[in-house]
Amino acid sequence: MKVLYALSDMEIELSENYVATLYIENMLYFRHTLQELSAQIAGAEGHWVFTQAQQQLDCKKNIILVTDFFHIDGNQKPVLSKLHAYLTSIAEEESELLYEINDKLRRLYTEITLQAPVEVGYKAALSAQDLIKAGDFKFEWVETELLERLVTYLDIICDLLKSKLIVLVNVRKYMTVEELKLVYEHCIRKKIPIFCIESGYTCHSVDELLEKVYTIDKDLCFIY
C-alpha cells in the first residue's frame, strides 16, 4: 500500500514488516492536513491518496483515524453491526436451542395476550438476528492500561471491520518507547495495518527493524 498527499511530493510505501511513521514539523500544515484527512474519512473530497495494488481506496470505507487515546472504544455502530452479524452466524447453528427458545416465547406471549384487555398480536417467531439484537451485545471495556486498551481496539477493528489501514495520530505522546515497541510488534505479528502521523520535530525510530520514519519538515520538504 502507498500513502500520498497530492499537494506535496510525499509518497510513503507501507509494509507488513514495519510501521511507517510520518512527522509533520510545521504545526499549521499538520493541522490542515489532518483536518482534511478526517473530512475525507467522513466522505468529503481531499488530497490524501491511499492506493493498494495500484487501485485508489475509498477513505470512508477503508481508513480508520484514531486521535483520542483516552477514549478508545470499540462500541461504535459499524463495529457493533459486524459483531452482531458474527454472533448471529454462530446462533444460527444452534437450531435446536433456537426452536426451544421460540417455543417458550410463544407460550409466554400467548399467556400475556390472553390477559390483555384487547386483542393484540405478536411476532410468531424470533430469528437468530432478532435474539442477538435483543441481547444488546457490546464489548466490555474494563479499566485497563492504555497499552492493553489500544491493542484490544486494534484487534477489534482489524478482525471485524477488515479496514485496510488504521491511522494513529500522535500515539508517541501517550506511550513510552517500550510500549510503542510492543504495539508495533503486535501489529506486525498479526498483520494489522497501521500508519502513524506525529506532530513536532522528528524523533529517531524506536527500533529500525520495527519502524521507518519519514518527515515533512518546517519548510514542507519531504525527507525519507
How far is C-alpha 8 from the geometric centre of its chain's CA atoms? Answer: 27
Distance CA 201, CA 173 (A): 12
Nearest Cα neighbor of 209 from 188, 179, 178 is 188
Is 2-74+143-223 a CATH 3.40.50.11940 domain? Answer: yes
Residue 120 has what pLDDT?
87
What sign has the CA pseudo-torsion 53, 59, 64, 66?
positive
Cβ distance 45 to 108 under 8 Å?
no
- What pTM value is reported for the model? 0.84
Residue 203 has what pLDDT?
87
Domain with CATH 3.40.50.11940 in the chain: 2-74+143-223
Query: Which residues of the chain fall below pLDDT 50?
Result: none
Nearest Cα neighbor of 49 from 103, 1, 16, 104 is 1
Residue 20 has what pLDDT?
98
Residue 43 has what pLDDT?
93
CA dihedral 61, 70, 174, 31 (to 10 degrees): 50
Q: What cell does 216 get?
A: 515533512
Q: How much of the chain is helix, strand and coil, in % rounded to 5?
A: 40, 20, 40
Sheet holding 11-13, edge to edge: 11-13, 2-5, 48-52, 55-56
Q: What cell does 160 get?
A: 471485524
Cell 504495539, residue located:
183
